[in-house]
Amino acid sequence: MIDRVEIYVKAGDGGNGIVSFRREKYVPFGGPDGGNGGKGGDILVVADRQLSTLHSLSRRRYWKADKGGNGAGKKMQGKNGQELVIKVPPGTLIYKKSDDAKAQIADLLEEGQVELVARGGGGGFGNDHFATATSQAPRIAQKGEVGEEAWLILDLKLIADVGIIGYPNVGKSTLLASASAARPKIADYPFTTTEPNLGVVEVANSTFVLAEIPGLIEGAHRGSGLGHNFIRHAERTKLLIHLLNGSSKSPLDDLNSVNKELALFNPLLGERPQIVVVNKIDLPDVEARIPKLKKELGLIGVPVFFISAATRKGVPQLMANAKEMLDSLVSEKPQEAPALFQPKPRKHTVTVSKEGDTFVVSSPEAERLIARMDLTSSEARSYLRRQFARMGVARALKRAGVKPGDAVRFGEVGMEWE
C-alpha cells in the first residue's frame, strides 16, 4: 500500500502586464491602455472518498499549475491560470517540508474537505494602472508575481471505527470477510495482508467501519515486520478487537506482546478500549482448551469472546458487542490539536544590514515590488524611488549610510542606489 508520498507543488506565476497606447484615427490623445496580467493557478488538495490509497500520487512527483496570461492592449486582462486539484483519500495529513523539519498544515478528515497548499502569483499591472494626473503616458508595467512552491509530505491514516489487531496468521482477514462484504487476501502463511483493509459491518440497521491492521510482531514499533508503516493506522480507531490464535502456545503472552508494541509506538494506543477475541474454536484442540483459556484470560479484566471466523460461529454476537461498545463510549476528551503551520502575515517593517560593501534590505513588500519591475527602464527606477520613499526604505538606507552608486540588494535582486 502506498500511504506516504512526497511531492513538489508549484503554483502558477502571474501573467505580465504590458505597455500599450491607444492609437485611433482622429483621436490625438489616445492614452495608455495596457492591460493587467492574469493570476496564476492555485494548487488545492481535496479529500475524495473514491480513493483509498495514495498510489496514484506515487507515480507523479511534480505538480505545476498553469501560469496567468499576459495582459493586452485595450485594457484587456490576461486569462487567469487554471487551478490544479490533487485528490487524496480522507484521512490524509499534509506536511510542508522546510530544510530537515516539517510542519503539519492540514488534516483532511471529511469528504470534500479542501486545502490550499500553494497560491498562484498575482498578475502584473499594465501601464494603464500607473497613469496619474502628473504621469499621463507611463511606459512602465509589472511582471507577474511568482507562484508559491513547496515540498509536501502526504501521510495517510485510514479512518475506521474499529480495528482488528493481532499477530500474523491469527485470522484477521477471515474475520473481516466474515463480518463484512470485504474480500481481503486470505492464506495460511504470515503477512498475507500487506495493506490495511476496510469493511462495513451492519448490525441492527446501523453500520460501522471495521479495519484490519496488518500483522504486528515484536519490535513493530521500531519498524520490524510490517512495522510502523501500518500500526499507525490504528491511531484513528475508537475501539480495537484484539484477535488471538486459540492454538498458540500462549495466547496471553501474545496479547501482552502486541499491547506492548502498541504502547511503545503511541501510549494513547495502549489505552484504547479493546475486546479480546480467541479465534479458531472450530479446531478440536482449541475447543478443548476453552475452559483453560477462559481462566487465564479472565484475569485481564476485559470481555473475552470465543469465535470461529472461518465458520462465523460467535461472529454476529462479537460484532453486536462491538457496536454496543462503540455507542457507549463516551466521547474522548479532545486532544490538543497538533500545531498547524500558519503563514506569518507579511510585515511591512524595513531592516538594513551590510554584507561586505552591499547594503541588504529586508522588507517583504519592497522585495515583491522590485522583483516585478524592469530595472533597465529609467521610468521604472523613478517609480521605485517614489515607492521606496513611501515604504520607509529610503529612510532606512539613509540611516545605514547608503550613498549614490552603492550596491543595494532586495532578496535576490540587486541594484545600484541612485
pLDDT tens for 9-25 read 999 999 999 999 987 77
User: What pLDDT is stored for residue 396 in this prediction?
Assistant: 93
Q: 106-113: list long-range contacts, CB under 8 Å, 24+ apart.
A: 106/45, 106/340, 107/338, 108/45, 108/46, 108/47, 109/47, 109/159, 110/47, 111/47, 111/48, 111/49, 112/46, 112/47, 112/48, 113/46, 113/47
Q: How confident is residue 28, by pLDDT bands cut at 50, 70 and 90?
A: low
Q: How confident is residue 167, by pLDDT bands cut at 50, 70 and 90?
A: confident
Q: How confident is residue 148, by pLDDT bands cut at 50, 70 and 90?
A: very high
Query: What percentage of the chain has pLDDT greater than the value 70?
Result: 86
pTM of the model: 0.71
User: What pLDDT is stored for residue 62 in this prediction?
Assistant: 96
Asked if residue 4 lies in contact with residue 228, where contact means CB atoms within 8 angstroms, the answer is no
Q: Is the predicted pLDDT of residue 155 greater than 80, yes or no?
A: yes
Least confident of 101-105, 125-129, 194-198, 214-218: 214-218
pLDDT tens for 327-365 read 888 544 444 445 555 555 555 689 999 999 999 999 999
User: What pLDDT is stored for residue 24 in this prediction?
Assistant: 75
pLDDT tens for 223-238 read 433 444 556 667 778 8
The whole-angstrom separation of Cα 311 and Cα 212 is: 19
Q: Is the predicted pLDDT of residue 212 greater than 90, yes or no?
A: no
CATH: 2.70.210.12, 3.40.80.10, 3.40.50.10470, 3.40.50.720. Which one for 4-156?
2.70.210.12
pLDDT tens for 118-143 read 999 999 999 999 998 888 889 999 99
Domain residue ranges in the chain = 4-156, 162-328, 351-416
User: Which CATH superfamily is 162-328 part of?
Assistant: P-loop containing nucleotide triphosphate hydrolases (3.40.50.300)
Q: Is the predicted pLDDT of residue 193 greater than 60, yes or no?
A: no
Q: Looking at the domain that runs over 351-416, which CATH code has it been given?
A: 3.30.300.350
Chain-wide mean pLDDT for the chain?
Answer: 85
The whole-angstrom separation of Cα 171 and Cα 192 is: 10
pLDDT tens for 232-271 read 667 778 899 999 999 999 999 999 988 888 888 788 888 8
Using only C-alpha atoms, the chain has a radius of gyration, in whole angstroms, of: 32
User: What pLDDT is stored for residue 351 in this prediction?
Assistant: 93
Q: Is the predicted pLDDT of residue 51 greater than 90, yes or no?
A: no
Q: What is the mean pLDDT of residues 388-413?
A: 93
Q: Is the predicted pLDDT of residue 184 greater than 60, yes or no?
A: no
* Three-state SS annotation for the chain: CCCEEEEEEECCCCCCCCCCECCCCCCCCCCECCCCCCCCCCEEEEECCCCCCCHHHHCCCEEECCCCCCCECCCECCCCCCCEEEEECCCEEEEEEECCEEEEEEEECCCCCEEEEECCCCCCCCHHHHCCCCCCCCCCCCCCCCCCEEEEEEEECCCCCEEEECCCCCCHHHHHHHHCCCCCCCCCCCCCCCCCEEEEEEECCEEEEEEECCCCCCCHHHCCCCCHHHHHHHHHCCEEEEEEECCCCCHHHHHHHHHHHHHHHCHHHHCCCEEEEEECCCCHHHHHHHHHHHHHHHHHCCCEEECECCCCECHHHHHHHHHHHHHHCCCCCCCCCCCECCCCCCCCCCEEEEECCEEEEECHHHHHHHHCCCCCCHHHHHHHHHHHHHHCHHHHHHHHCCCCCCEEEECCEEEECC
- Tally of residues, the chain: 418
Query: Angle at the Cα of 24 (from 20 to 30), degrees rounded to 5?
Result: 55
